[in-house]
Amino acid sequence: MRVTERPSRTPRRRGDGRTGGQAAAPADDGVAGRSSAARRPEGQPSAPTETARRPTIADIAKQAGLTKAAVSFALNGQPGVSEQTRSRVLDIARRVGWQPNSAARALSDGKAGAFGLVVDRPAAMLGVEPFFMQLISGIQAELSDNQMSLLFTITQDQASEIALYRSWWAQRKVDGVFVVDVRVADARIAALEELGMPAVVIGHPSVAGSLPAVWHDDALVARTVMEHLVALGHTLIGRVSGMPELRHTQIRTEAFGEAAGELGVTVVDAAGDYSGDSGALVTEELLRRDPRPTAVVYDNDLMAVSGLGAARRLGIDVPGDVSMVAWEDSPLCELVHPPLTALHRDVLTYGVHAARRLLAEERGQRAGNVKDAAHELVRRASSGPARRRSTSTTSPVPESR
């Protein structure tokens, strides 16, 4: 109960962590001292039934003069005890600060009480994207409402990710997992199906196998972008994509192609890898083409920002000479110059939906896929009308980087 302002240098004391053994009169326990004090006015000394440690239902049972089972019934709202007894038990539980031991409960009902999320990217590539943090934030919000925890891990390759799934499942550490960054013919999907482990794919249903997916319609979004650009007069549009092995990259590529065909314009695809470097490199390639695209769409914000820099180095004006659009919005897009037109979505809600879906799955409710809201186009200064194709290409600038 000492919550005083620590002077400057307390002689580090702290709990032992392990209050094991036969209560060798620790005098100052520091754990949940209120309980024993409250129950025992000043107590007969050498009390044999001292509740030293974290309270269990056995302690509550003893205090209430009941058995463990009765207490369990009372605490869980199960029938089998009188209302009077129930409230008495609840009172005691509250007073001693009882909380169920998660391991005991897990062992008993065979559920872990946690879900897992593994991200498999090299540490360097993680990071600048706010996506995961927001996703986790959303997942978390839903899980904590349901007394569930999230085990989060970053691995270096897919093999260890799969190994981790097997291990988690064998040890019953998690009740299910969220799968992100799904590739074509992703080995994780097959592994999860084989294990029979509940899982939700955060990505397109076409790669989710028999697993439920939470997704949004990238094809629709691609079309929106194309319409925006075509309406501005653009007819030759560059696109800097993410890794081609990711399924959603392919989906976007296909959709851009189709929309282009229908709208009578041309799309030039070029593959990046989400890194700033690749964004700059690929942008330079695109902007050196003749005829030069009058607009470029990027698969993430980081590449778009780099593309902006590349254009400046080449002496190409944005949006005067070329418009730029980033797929995925972030604070970054707002603070560069010019601010980037971007595709925004509510990642947090996406996470909430994924969590909700996995909770249902784990409860055995085998529902279908969940389609989330599509991205919304946020128009900023980086996209504008296509320049009349009169002036030829800018004088080439020596390559730099």
- Among positions 358-397, residues that touch a copy of itself (CB under 8 A) are 362, 364, 366
H or E segment and range at residue 38: helix 34-39
Q: Which does 209 bind (CB under 5 to 8 A by kind): a copy of itself, DNA, none?
A: a copy of itself
Alpha-carbon torsion (223, 226, 230, 236), positive or negative: negative
- The site string for a copy of itself over 216-255 (x = CB under 8 A, - otherwise) reads ---x-------------------------------x--x-
Residue 80 interacting partner from DNA, a copy of itself, none (CB closer than 5 to 8 Å by kind): DNA
Binding site for DNA (CB under 7 A): 35-36, 38-40, 53-58, 65-70, 72-73, 75-76, 78, 80-85, 98, 100-101, 104-105, 107-110
Q: Which does 394 bind (CB under 5 to 8 A by kind): DNA, a copy of itself, none?
A: none
Q: Residue written as tokens 């601010």?
A: 339
Q: Which residue has the tokens 């955060």?
A: 202
The least distance separating a copy of itself from the CB of residue 203, rounded to whole angstroms, comes to 12
Q: What CA–CA distance (Å, rounded) separates 141 from 115? A: 13
Of residues 283 through 302, those in contact with a copy of itself by CB under 8 A are: 302
70 binds, among a copy of itself, DNA, none (CB under 5 to 8 A by kind): DNA
DSSP state of 374: P
- By a kind-dependent CB cut-off of 5 to 8 A, residue 387 interacts, out of a copy of itself, DNA, none, with none
- The distance in angstroms from the start CA to the end CA of the chain is 61
Determine the residue type at 280: A
Task: Name which of 125 and 231 has its Cβ closer to a copy of itself.
Answer: 125
Residue 65: name its binding partner from a copy of itself, DNA, none (Cβ under 5 to 8 Å by kind).
DNA
Least separation in angstroms between CB 161 and a copy of itself: 12
**Helix/strand/coil (H/E/C) assignment for every residue in 46-96:** CCCCCCCCCCCHHHHHHHHCCCHHHHHHHHCCCCCCCHHHHHHHHHHHHHH
The rounded Cα 140 to chain-centroid distance in angstroms is 8
Choosing from 68, 85, 90, 106, the residue that interacts with a copy of itself (CB under 8 A) is 106
Nearest approach, Cβ of 343 to DNA (angstroms)? Answer: 46
Burial group, residue 244, by CB count within 10 angstroms (0-12, 13-18, 19+): middle
- x-marked contacts with a copy of itself along 115-154 as a string, rule CB under 8 A: --------x--xxxxx-xxx-xxx-x---x----xxxxxx
Which among DNA, a copy of itself, none contacts residue 75 (Cβ within 5 to 8 A by kind)?
DNA
Counting Cα atoms < 13 Å in the Cβ hemisphere of 266 gives 6
CB nearer to DNA: pick between 337 and 363: 363
Radius of gyration for the alpha carbons in the chain, expressed in angstroms and rounded = 29
Of 53 and 344, which CB lies nearer to DNA in the complex structure? Answer: 53
Give the CA distances from residue 364 to residues 32, 116, 360, in Å, rounded to whole numbers and listed in that order.
Answer: 38, 18, 6
Rounded to an integer, what distance in angstroms lies between the CA atom of residue 21 and that of residue 257? 71
Tokens of 49: 């039934």
Q: Shortest distance, CB of residue 80 to a copy of itself, whole angstroms?
A: 18
Q: Does 59 bind a copy of itself (CB under 8 A)?
A: no
- Given DNA, a copy of itself, none, residue 244, with its beta carbon under 5 to 8 Å by kind, binds none
| Helix, strand, coil percent values for the chain (each to nearest 5) | 40, 15, 45
Pick from DNA, a copy of itself, none: which does 112 bind, CB < 5 to 8 A by kind? a copy of itself
Q: Which of residues 12-41 bind a copy of itself (CB under 8 A)?
A: 12-20, 30-34, 36-38
Among 63, 253, 283, 330, contact with a copy of itself (rule: CB under 8 A): 330
Interatomic CA distance for residues 206 and 89, integer angstroms: 52
Residue 392, classed as helix, strand or coil, is coil
Q: Which of 109, 391, 392, 398 binds a copy of itself (CB under 8 A)?
A: 109
